[in-house]
Amino acid sequence: MQEIAWQVSLVLMALVGFGFTFVVLKSGRRCEDYTPLQKKAYRLRLKLFWLLALLFGPTMIYTLVNLPYDATFAKSNTDTRPPQVIAATGYQWYWKLSGTEIEAGRLVEFRVTSADVNHGFGIYNTDMKIVAQVQAMPGYTNTLQHTFDKAGTYKIMCLEYCGTVHHAMVAELNVVTPEGRNKI
């Protein structure tokens, strides 16, 4: 198999070499005025641009609308209380959190780092749509602030492949209302 791959590579390299040689040999000749050809090419390029824009513009908009990101970044937080701070450390293959219960409507500050390799700290809501994310890196602490509007169980999952058990790197956050917290 390697012998065949080597032979195919040699043939392709020879074709590329012949192509370069052809261009070099032809480049020395002076040709007539290219202005009419250039104008025709520019018109064709403009038509191709608008064709691609009309074809892929709506496709891009249609696919971007369904991205799993929640639009919470546009909301302002009027809560004057200091944020609840949760330290999060990623390990192969689990998350260590300093707390797992969060009050809905209150700003939470996640201080995210890693003890071994890079991890992606992604928070998913109950519909499995990502609501916030940040990178977890060894030797560095990233800060992520988020306000959870709805009560429920949110999942934290790793967004960057970190090894063979990456798929099982899941933790949970319980977001409760102030009334629900009093009942516990």
Paired residues of 171 in beta bridges: 156
DSSP-based three-state secondary structure for 36? helix
pLDDT value of residue 59: 84
Provide the pairing of β-strand 107-114 with 142-147: antiparallel
Confirm if 84 and 99 have CB atoms less than 8 A apart.
Answer: yes
Q: How confident is the model at residue 31 (pLDDT cuts 50, 70, 90)?
A: low
pLDDT value of residue 74: 47
91 has pLDDT over 80: yes
pLDDT value of residue 85: 95
Q: How far apart are CA 135 and CA 183, in angstroms?
A: 35
Q: How confident is the model at residue 94 (pLDDT cuts 50, 70, 90)?
A: very high
183 has pLDDT over 80: no
Q: What is the C-alpha R_g of the chain?
A: 28
More confident residue, 27 or 39: 39
32 has pLDDT over 60: yes
Q: Which residues of 4-29 are buried (b: 16+ CB within 10 A; e: fewer)?
A: eeeeeeeeeeeeeeeeeeeeeeeeee
Q: List pLDDT tens digits, range 72-88.
A: 444 555 668 899 999 99
**Chain centroid, CA 11 distance in Å:** 39
pLDDT value of residue 35: 79
Q: Give this prediction's pTM.
A: 0.58
